[in-house]
Amino acid sequence: MPIPVTCPSCLARFTVSDKYAGKQGPCPKCKQTITVPDKSQEVVIHAPETEGPKDSTGRPVLKPIRRTELNPSTIQIGIAVGVAAICLIAAIAARINGSTPTIGLALVAIGLAYPLASVGYTFFKDDELGGYIGKERWIRVGICSAVFAVTWGLYWFLSYYFGNKSLGEIDTIQMAIFIGIMFAAGVGASLGTCELEAGQAFLHYSIYFVATLLLALIAGVPLAQPISGANPKDPYGLPKPSAPILLPANPNPTPPVNAD
């Protein structure tokens, strides 16, 4: 086995055959006489000791933990796209009919929550740490999606709590405050259940919020004055009937002129 040698004079590095171990000879570069190290001067680097049980040969018997990749499956994407398509058709139908029942809004908010939360978690999870799988994933994403759906109920509750008779009476300041509270609840749920980072949790809830907001706009739901353009006294944005214009009576009417 070749022996690595370093010349102490010119610091040149080279290797020599192990048969010259312990012998002297000239450096091939500076010609200074050097001594080739022998086997006793050889540095051996040992591998670190591994903890845990070992077999009779000293090898560890525990296998390393393999990280499971959580890529969105075809079934997950298909369910999310199917639910979104159904909600879009329902929103268009409600816009054509001119009426959007409250129960329909609630069903849309609930129906989109889990598919969007599940797909969003798959994309925004930390790839280095892996992610939750199996039953624990279902539970965590289920709790997160339930909070996502409740945020729209929170928007409705705050509207009536502050004296608005309908959502169309919410002004710009109230809408900004209510949406801020919704995002605080949604992002907090994503942080607590899915353990995402702050920016990822914000995007996680934003997907659900933007999707449901667009469906509400397509359905023509008067969510607030800035969105629906409704008048505070007329929350559904219907044009008020104008009062008839009354002309003053002529006190001295002119008699018709006879052509004859």
Same domain, 151 and 78: yes
The answer to whether position 199 is within a domain reads yes
Same domain, 29 and 111: no
- 15: containing domain: 3-39
Average pLDDT in the 120-148 region?
A: 82
What's the pTM? 0.57
Tokens encoding 10? 């010119």
Specify the higher pLDDT residue, 122 or 189: 189
Tell me the C-alpha distance between 242 and 240, whole Å.
Answer: 6
CB atoms within 10 A of CB 94: 21
Same domain, 122 and 168: yes
At 202, which helix (H) or strand (E)?
A: helix 198-219
The answer to whether position 158 is within a domain reads yes
Same domain, 124 and 214: yes
Same domain, 193 and 85: yes
Q: Which of 123-127, 134-138, 228-232 is the most confident on average?
A: 134-138
**234 by DSSP, 3-state: which?**
strand
Residue 193 DSSP class: I
What are the tens digits of pLDDT across the range 13-49? Answer: 888 887 888 888 888 888 888 888 876 665 656 566 6
In DSSP terms, 3 is beta-bridged to 16
Instruction: Classify the phi-psi angles of 117: left when phi > 0, otherwise alpha if psi is within -120 to 50, otherwise beta.
Output: alpha
Same domain, 170 and 91: yes
Contact 108, 215 (CB under 8 A): yes
What are the tens digits of pLDDT across the range 188-244? Answer: 999 999 888 899 999 999 999 998 888 888 887 888 888 766 554 444 444 444 445
The answer to whether position 257 is within a domain reads no
Same domain, 78 and 144: yes
Contact 104, 94 (CB under 8 A): yes
User: What single string gives the DSSP state of each residue in 19-44?
Assistant: GGTT-EEE-TTT--EEE---GGG---
Q: What length is written for the chain?
A: 260
The answer to whether position 140 is within a domain reads yes
Same domain, 32 and 123: no
Q: Long-range contact list for 234-239, CB < 8 A, 24+ apart?
A: 235/165, 235/166, 235/167, 235/168, 235/169, 236/166, 236/168, 237/168
Same domain, 30 and 134: no
The answer to whether position 55 is within a domain reads no
Same domain, 31 and 141: no
What are the tens digits of pLDDT across the range 158-195? Answer: 999 988 888 888 888 999 999 999 999 999 999 999 88
The answer to whether position 251 is within a domain reads no
Residue 210 DSSP class: H
Nearest to 225 by CA among 161, 156, 179, 174: 174
Total domains in the fold of the chain: 2
Tell me the C-alpha distance between 226 and 229, whole Å.
Answer: 6
What are the tens digits of pLDDT across the range 103-115? Answer: 777 888 888 888 8
Nearest to 212 by CA among 232, 236, 233, 186: 186
Sole residue written with tokens 């010349």: 7
Same domain, 30 and 87: no
Same domain, 117 and 17: no
Tell me the C-alpha distance between 141 and 189, whole Å.
Answer: 10
Q: How far is CA 190 from CA 23, 74, 88, 209, 211, in A?
A: 71, 24, 25, 13, 17
